[in-house]
Amino acid sequence: MPAEPFIFRFAAVLLAALSPTLWALPDDRSQPIQIEANQAMRDDARGLTVYEGDVVITQGSILIRADKVSIFGDGRQVTRVVGEGNPAHYEQVPEVGKPPVVARARTISYEVGSEKIILTRDASLRQEEATLTGERIEYDLLQEIIRAQGGDDNQRIRMVIPPSQQGAD
């Protein structure tokens, strides 16, 4: 089987693992959300909550670490969550007994309405030993489309698949 289709399917599975509604452990959604930060600010008029300073958010197997996390809302609904750091870090166990999927970027954004996850500036994804890196990695969860881009300075994306996974398709 050609390597290219496998690479795109693998990358799509990797990114889909970041979706809290599609690829979480079964009990992640029923776990309490715990947030720790040095400070927090809530602006009801703007529908904005900002946590700053060594932010750690956990819910079941989900772990988010960032310098700053902004949660945008429209009334009672969350519309967007943005983590910023050097780098911001997201990990989640996709299945019982599997290692976590790890995402890192200077900015990690989850667009709730369009169900898109966007990693920008020094973006990387890792599951087991396979990695995808680039300046921007975007995954559309609804359409199951992945887009990865290099930077303006002719930086290219890079996908590394260890030998044991190359024929696993």
Q: What tokens does 64 get?
A: 């988010």
> 2 or 73: whose pLDDT is higher?
73
Q: What tokens does 128 get?
A: 């087991």
First to last CA, the chain: 8
Other Cβ atoms closer than 10 A to 3: 13
pLDDT band of 58, cuts 50, 70, 90: confident
Instruction: List the domain range (segments joined by +) for residue 12.
Output: 3-166
Instruction: List helix spans (H) across 17-90.
Output: none
Give phi and psi for 91, each to the nearest 5: -140, 150
When divided into structural domains, the chain yields a total of 1
Q: Under a CB-based contact definition with an 8 Å cutoff, are residues 155 and 148 in contact?
A: no
pLDDT band of 136, cuts 50, 70, 90: very high
CATH of the domain at 43: 2.60.450.10
Q: pLDDT digits over 78-109, tens only?
A: 888 899 999 999 888 877 888 888 889 999 99
How confident is the model at residue 24, as a pLDDT? 56
